């Protein structure tokens, strides 16, 4: 059974163009648009503080939402872009794409590392160096994973973890067609210094 989707709230924006968008911002709202799935685009407004709070929760661009539009539709969407003010770094516009549950989409999925306490290399003072904290995967919209898991148990200094070493969720596959590095366990600087001295 698919997990219940997090909700977003918006309202239909009357009028389009820069004038309507500026009017929305004066009312402490962020203008946006819903597009895709062969339907006409719908202009929306979102409460500025509400949107900012959701953005700060993280993973906004990799979450499938149930977007409820007051006076309009209720639709499954993913965010495809948040425009920000170049000075204040605050959201000024947001784009959502309609998604069917059987659509395949590319999203960045968070990497979760477990069992660091069972990694001999880390116990010896090695450092987990994360090359990719998120991995772009092609996933089924109705079954978007919250994260992928990298098990560090048994990993030693010098070990490198590639995408092929990770068990991916059902239906998910990397968008990059090569065995790229996710992380490695680097030697501590003291150990490197002693190795150099020995040489």
CATH number, domain containing residue 21: 2.40.240.10
- For range 154-168, the mean pLDDT: 96
Are 86 and 118 contained in the same domain?
Answer: no
φ, ψ at 11 (rounded to 5°): -135, 155
Domain limit, last residue, from 98, 119, 154: 98
Out of 98, 119, 142, a domain closes at: 98
pLDDT of residue 198: 46
Determine the structural domain holding residue 178 and report its residue range.
104-196
CB 68 within 8 A of CB 130: no
**Structural domain ending residue among the three candidates 98, 128, 151:** 98
- pLDDT category at 98 given cuts 50, 70, 90 is very high
Q: What is the DSSP letter of 158?
A: T
Query: What are 161's strand-pairing partners?
Result: 183
* pLDDT, mean over the chain: 88
Does residue 2 lie in a domain region?
no
CA 71, 77, 81, 82 torsion: positive or negative?
Answer: positive
CATH at 113: 2.170.120.20
Query: Does the pLDDT value for residue 176 go beyond 80?
Result: yes
Give CA–CA dist 192/32, Å, rounded.
52
CB 68 within 8 A of CB 7: yes
Tokens for 78? 């993913």
Residue with tokens 């639709």: 75
Give pLDDT tens digits for 67-87.
Answer: 999 877 789 999 999 999 888
What number is the average pLDDT over the span 105-120? Answer: 93
Q: What is the pLDDT of residues 39-48, one digit of tens each?
A: 899 999 999 9
> Residue 106: is its pLDDT beyond 80?
yes
């Amino acid at each position: 059974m698919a997990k219940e989707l997090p909700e977003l709230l918006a309202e239909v924006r009357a009028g389009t163009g820069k004038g309507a968008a500026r009017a929305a911002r004066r009312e402490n709202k962020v203008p946006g648009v819903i597009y895709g799935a062969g339907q006409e685009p719908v202009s929306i407004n979102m409460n500025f503080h509400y949107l900012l709070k959701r953005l700060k929760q993280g993973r906004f661009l990799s979450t499938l939402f149930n977007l409820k539009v007051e006076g309009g539709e209720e639709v499954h969407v993913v965010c495809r872009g948040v425009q920000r003010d170049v000075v204040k770094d605050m959201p000024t516009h947001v784009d959502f794409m309609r998604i069917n549950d059987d659509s395949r989409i590319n999203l960045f999925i968070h990497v979760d590392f477990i069992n660091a306490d069972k990694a001999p290399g880390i116990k010896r003072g090695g450092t987990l160096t994360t090359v990719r904290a998120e991995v772009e995967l092609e996933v089924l919209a109705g079954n978007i994973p919250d994260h992928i898991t990298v098990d560090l148990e048994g990993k030693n200094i010098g070990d490198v973890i590639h995408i092929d070493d990770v068990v991916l969720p059902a239906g998910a596959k990397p968008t990059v067609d090569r065995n790229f590095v996710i992380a490695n366990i680097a030697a501590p600087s003291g150990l490197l210094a002693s190795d150099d001295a020995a040489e």
